[in-house]
Amino acid sequence: MKMIKSAYLFLAYTLLSFFLALPASAQQKYELNSGWFCANINEVKVGGAQLSKSDFPVDQWMKATVPGTVLTTLLDNKKVPDPFYGMNNKLIKDIYHTGNDYYTYWFVKSFTQVAKGDEQVWLQFRGVNYKTEIFLNGKKVNAQIHEGMHLRQQYNITSLLAANGNNRLAVLVYPPDFPGDPNGGQGGDGTIAKGLTTQYTAGWDWIQPIRDRNTGIWDKVTIEKTKVVNLQNPHIVTLVPGKRSVEGQQQPAMIKASAELINTSPKSVAGTLVLTMAGKTSQAKVVLPANKTTEVLLPQLSLSNPKLWWPNGYGEQNLYPVKIQFIISNTVSDEENLNIGVRQIETTFNAHTQSMETTINGQKIFIKGGNWIISDAILRFSPQRYDAEIRFHKEMNLNLIRIWGGAITERPEFYEACDKYGLLVFQDFWFSGDANGRWYDPLKKEDQWSRRKYPDNHQLVLTAAADQIKMIRNHASLAFWCGGNEITPPDDILIPLRDEVLPKLDGTRTFIDFSNSDAMSVNTFGGNGDGPYNIQNPRTFWTNRTFPFNSEIGSVGTGDYESLKRFIPEANLIAPQYPNKVDSVWEYHKYIGYDQYIKPYGEAKNVQDFAQKAQLVNYNQYRALMEGFSAHMWDWYTGSIIWKTQNPWTALRGQMYDYYLDVNAALYGLRLGSEPLHIMLNPADSMITVVNNHFVPKRNLMVKATAYDMTGKAYFLDQIFYEINPATVKKCFSIKSAIEKLKQKDGLFIQLSLLNEKEQVLSENFYWLEDEDGTYKGLQKMNKTSVSIQSKVIAKNKVEVKLTAPSNQPVAFFTRIALIDKQTGKRILPAFYSDNYVSILPGTSKMVSVDCNNVDLKDCAIEVYGWNVDKINKVIF
């Protein structure tokens, strides 16, 4: 038996060595992302056949931004003002008033490419909005006009290539057929939803209309070169049976794989499909019919002791490089390379909470999520921006992002960042109750019955859905599919999508009919099943039971003064004064009133004062929101998804960082409230509570509480040892009587600490409590204090900052740290802080690390200021 086993091992090693020794793939893939020119259709007097000839002059045309939209190109060429600044968007002509021709453009690009022997050359568009006619070297490429924003295109252009390699591509891009009237409604008059495009571009309650409705070649254009067989749409499924631990030896995981193979030859072709992963291979020999696309399944592969992928806060995000190739006579015809996370996602219905419960690798996960619209309203995407935004979500201690249905299927680069940082993704399809008829709305052009049937082309939706599923299904982060935002698609889309398309093309993820479905979260309260969206008393989140898995619950998020200055003209930097009407620019940028929640800190003296006090409200709101949900984990709730955590435009609402990637206090309040192991104070009954999201118990925990008055004097309250079970909330002890005794007329600070047996801090939390009449007079009367700054470079782009407050002085309250350019004083963006808006106790220090990938720290300084701390700068070098 030993000899047979050794022979098998030798054979396996020999096969692996053979495949690894194969010559490099014939595949070449590159982007056509520069050298484009464009012109409006009314300025062009010839057709695509002539435009696509290499001798037709276009050097006097406008330089085009591809990937990008028409509006992006116009902006880059300074033909329109920045629509994100002030009221500039009103100065740009809207397609509804100009007619579609105004934003119908030709895009032209010359490139060099030849095909030798059996080489095949493919032209690929990952996204064009809305319709497309394509010409190459005087010939029409697509026999029929392509339609649909959410649908890739691929064409074999081998026979159309110029013999000398000098090729000219001409693409005519038409806007959506029904751009809609931007009349102030959600999705304007609703008719934008008649096509398969971005609904938000007609305007929403968080954005003004995008004037060209995102018309353009908005995503990548690539050229791919293969041999006679093109391998596409590989599908990798990972099966991780049983309940797994994060650490230690793992039982095997199973890997199932398949791929589509396009045989471009007029003859049948024999070859081998090979998958290589973790030093192991799976292969299948096949004969492909002539001029056909064939899906080939590979034998299941067993992965011993796998390194598993876990959501953020629960474990590491391990990813395996995977190569899948098609080999003909020892030559690689084509290959695809993937990064695969080994995990298994399942859902059950929690009968106690009456909501959906998620398990990863057999372990239940309490969902802490944020709603995402799109990275940029005019589709200026980049891997760097995606990485920064998803990193912010990781650093908020969130574990899920929901992609709202009025936007897009997010790009593979978005999913790559989510794989990297451990953010599960809840992906809506392209429907929203506002435009698709859930509610009566006098601003809509057509009635609910008509809008319920949108979009016009139902088969196009199913075709696009199948394509987009194939595009992103291999990502470990993709967790859920959802039919639409607050409404299902029409039944002849919903039913085949749910019962045929998804089971066939994915089959491993839960599909939710729509975002407020009772299958996800039973609505026993009536209404829409989500919200509210306004500022609430922090006690509300602890005491008022709401929907058991809320797909949208939100609040505010206005940035600080530096953020406001980036898009509000100086003349309009006027602090809102409730109940007076807000400034017109603030109103245009969708300001939500802070109203009575600013007033307890004192009437805003100016916009700087308003912005600083708004940060106190932001921090308290989002900390309390997540603490309140976590306090009722597995009892009232299985999760919560905040509306929303980012803005693709310069709106004054619902964001933890602004469009320019500058953080505000909401991020750090949410970060604290979302800690996996977290100590917190119930604002309703003053009970100190600890929540443990981990899969293992935490023992020998010291729970400590200390109070501080406005002068900085400390009052020891109590400290007790506790232990807490996995995935559990533990009520510890109440400090209500102590608070009532000490609070008196000026309010109070409460410092909570959770320590291990080595007296290391595992979690700490700092609260400021109002005085006896519900205001913060004590804060308003606090004496100034100072903070000393020491900095130490700990990596190429990372600096550690030590902030120290003097003894016998007040708390250095709510202190903001910013990395700035030492010459201009402007903030370096994006920058990532281990903490911010920190309060430093008298005679103690706080350590904050600052990470920034795009600057030399020699050019930077650290800026620090706070509620009672004057602004100071410290040069790093």
Residues belonging to the active site: 486, 552
- Alpha-carbon span 262 to 295, nearest angstrom: 9
Q: Quote the CA–CA distance of 825 and 819 in Å, as a whole number.
A: 9
Per 3-state DSSP, what percentage of the chain is helix, strand, and coil (rounded to 5)?
20, 35, 45
Taking each continuous run of H as one helix and of E as one strand, the counts in the chain are 17, 44
Helix (H) or strand (E) holding 625: helix 607-631
Q: Does residue 533 contact residue 555 with C-beta atoms inside 8 Å? A: yes
Contact present, 399 and 670 (Cβ < 8 Å): no
Q: How far apart are CA 516 and CA 512, in angstroms?
A: 9
Integer angstrom CA distances of residue 442 from 181, 186, 447, 578: 13, 11, 9, 29
Beta pairing partners, 510: 480
Eight-state DSSP code of residue 663: B
Indicate the pairing of strand 293-297 with strand 253-263. Answer: antiparallel
CA-CA distance, 444 to 434, in Å (whole number)?
A: 9
Tokens of 115: 């095909």
Which pair of tokens denotes residue 447? 């009635």
Q: How far is CA 312 from CA 318, 569, 846, in A?
A: 11, 39, 25
8 A C-beta contact, residue 204 and residue 191: no
Q: How far is CA 303 from CA 284, 422, 612, in A?
A: 18, 21, 53
3-state per-residue secondary structure call for 773-807: CCCCHHHHHCCCCCCEEEEEEEECCEEEEEEECCC
Strands 869-875 and 748-755, bridge-based pairing: unpaired
* Length of the chain counted residue by residue: 877
Q: Which two tokens stand for residue 654?
A: 């619902």
Per-residue buried b or exposed e for 201-232, using 16+ beta carbons within 10 Å of the residue's own CB: bbbbebbbbbbbbbbbbbbbbbbbbbbbbbbb
Residue 533 CA to residue 372 CA, distance in Å, equals 15
Supply 503's token pair: 């089971």
